[in-house]
Chains A and B, each alone.
Chain A
Amino acid sequence: MLVMVLGLFATTRGQFSLSRNYSGQTACLYVAEAAIADAIQELRQNAGWNAGFNGKPMQNSPGQYWVTFNTTGPPYSNLQSVNNMGNSAAAANYRSPTGVPARSVSLVVRARVGTTERVVEVILCRGGDLELNHAMLAEQGIAMQGDVLIDGIAGLSDATRVNANVHTNVSGALANTVTWSGLPTESALVDGRVTSTSTNPSAINMGAAVLGGSQYGVPPARFPSVDIPGTISSKSAAPAPAINMGGATLLPSGDYYVAGNLTVPGDLELNGANLYVNGDLTVVGSISGDGSVFVQDETTFSGDANITGLPDQGIALFSEGSVTLNGFDGNNYLSTLAATDPVLAADWANAQAVLADFDAHFKANTIATLGSGVDPARVTRVEMQKALTNFGGAPGHLGQSNLAGKLASQIALKPAGPTRDFMVKKFTWVSDMFKGGGTHYGGDSNAITQWQLTGNPGALLDSVADMNRVDLWGSVSTIYTRIGFDRLGTSYFQGAVYTNGDFTASNELVIVGGLMVRGGVSLNNGIQLTYVRDMFEPGGVFSNGGPIGVAAWMSR
């Protein structure tokens, strides 16, 4: 009997220790997460922060936490953090010589509650918790009107299809939280799911093709928080940008601050720059390139005439106020011109016909057939190029030649205006895209290098196909399938929009990226939204100026 009782005693004591340990480990985990939140706040104030924490006590419970940075180089301890936020190359930590990715922090936290300790390790980077699993995520209603296409790709250089989901967090039992309306000649297609948190069975009223199905009453999606006013005020010591009042404004790498409203009279191109505007931002032209823009109030800008398709490029736009993205309604403009100019009307119709044939031909073939010198598919492809751009006047597909170049020249003679200028740029871009690498750039590799350096995809299709550069075919596909043969007035925005207000996009726009909107969304008249999954992963579009967050938890 004594043995039995002692056995019971030992067993229950062991179980008691296990449960105490579980409780202590759980408490330590939350203390460690508190330390991570504290470290993120320090890093948001000063990206070079490496002071760490030395037994910092929790406010209302007995826990403590430690963070110690290695500031002297090797050797690295497995309890040391490494701040690599300021470097564009990977750095060493105790794991490996490249254990800390570029522009990130390897944070090791030691947490203690009572006698229990726990070590937690994370990777922090800009945009780390801005993961976007939706093409469009909104807190309020989503209203779409006219032709709408929402699709998704894995990356700008990887055209693999991914779900392009649409969700609104509208709570309660509101009807019509996601709607589409259009004429009988117009259509909408969502290549993903459409969901709403509203419990009303009529919450989703699309009347359009939703390939992934729709569902109401789903839980609200987590909406990451970005302190836009705080971020802007923390950059008030940065220099003001030099705005070009007579053309495009190019901002090189660095931070720029504007104390009030800012109007940019032309295009705004960022080259690794971060622009902070403590007021309204109005860009008469487009915002393009690679960088971030923080705006305290309203943001208004226009689509670009071209899309680079470069995988490491994109704009991260954070706007505390509403965002308005305008296209140029170029199709309407061309229709007006064509009504009084039969030559232009014929060239426009022919250009649409050739581009429609090209779109079908491109999608029906592969890089192998389009690039093989003896394949009929390549011959047809080159004939189409001749029809669209200048190959010395030689006629090509449908007996046409240099249609895009001729349209650019004809439109340039029309009365001045922003839509005219946009359409000239657009047709010049289309003409460049269909040039030949050897004929126009002195070699296919020259054309590819130019695209990689400048984002100008001149002769990219011809060069990539002829050189059988399979690694670049995804980018070619991204660019060439978004010309919009039936909407040649389409303009583009490549990047992500995060706004605490509403978002409105109007008039023939292709948005390549994603939308995170705390207010409502309104998409009007010919909007295509292509969700790019890779853009929202660490090192993506938020890597320049996005808020710092947890990108990955490392096993310990």
Chain B
Amino acid sequence: MIAFGVVAVAILAILLVFTRGLEWFVSSTDTTLASATGRQVLDEIRQRGPERLPAANLTFDGRAGNPKDVALDFPPDPYPVANDGTRNYTMVVRFSDVNPRLRSVLVEVYWNERSHVKLETYVARP
């Protein structure tokens, strides 16, 4: 009986460790892909320069189905959703004023309700 208990605890511990490892594996993949997706969007925004960005402080929320600004083609692809074949990475792009000369661009990439990465930088006002 004691031996059975010891073996059961050992198997339980092993299963817990195994499960935790799998969670880390999935999470690390999601973090890497979400960062790369956010980077793709933010680099394209920076590359366009301040003249080709929306003038107003706006939020484009891919989770809420906010469409692109077609005239400006903004936010750039892959907004609103990137898919790696197994999972959706949904983006939120926010603009806000930092001061009269600088604007903040925040890109959030979600892969579930709670988990996301945030990338923020500043661009000059035109």
Contacts and interface: CB of A to CB of B under 8 A. Distances in A.
Contacts, number: 114
B43 to A, nearest CB: 9
Interface stretch (A140-148, A218-226, A420-428): A218-226
Contacts of B42: 30
A31 B121 contact: yes
B27 A222 contact: no
Given A13-B24, A59-B104, A61-B120, A19 B31 contact: yes
Interface residues of A, number: 39
B94 A60 contact: yes
B114 interface: no
Contact of B102 (A12, A38, A61): A38
Contacts of A20: 28, 31
Given A2-B10, A59-B98, A30 B119 contact: yes
A26 B28 contact: no
B68 interface: no
Contacts of A2: 10, 14
Interface string A51-90: 0000000111111000000000000000000000000000
Interface stretch (A3-11, A236-244, A258-266): A3-11
B107 to A, nearest CB: 9
Interface in B14-44: 14, 17-18, 20-22, 24-25, 27-29, 31-32, 34-35, 38-39, 42
B123 to A, nearest CB: 6
A23 B38 CA distance: 10
Interface residues of B, number: 43
Nearest to B15: A5
Nearest to A15: B28
A222 B120 contact: no
B48 to A, nearest CB: 7
Contacts of B104: 34, 58-60
B119 A12 contact: no
B106 to A, nearest CB: 5
A27 interface: yes
A298 to B, nearest CB: 21
A505 to B, nearest CB: 24
A408 to B, nearest CB: 48
Contact of A27 (B49, B98, B118): B118
A254 B121 CA distance: 35
A60 B96 contact: yes
A9 B18 CA distance: 7
Contacts of A63: 120
Interface string A384-399: 0000000000000000
Interface string A430-470: 00000000000000000000000000000000000000000
A225 B22 contact: no
A223 B120 contact: no
A22 interface: yes
Contacts of B121: 30-31, 33-34, 37
B47 interface: yes
A124 to B, nearest CB: 13
11 contacts: A5-B18, A8-B18, A9-B20, A12-B22, A12-B24, A13-B21, A26-B39, A31-B121, A38-B122, A61-B106, A61-B118
The 3 closest A-B pairs by CB, nearest first: A19-B28, A34-B122, A30-B121
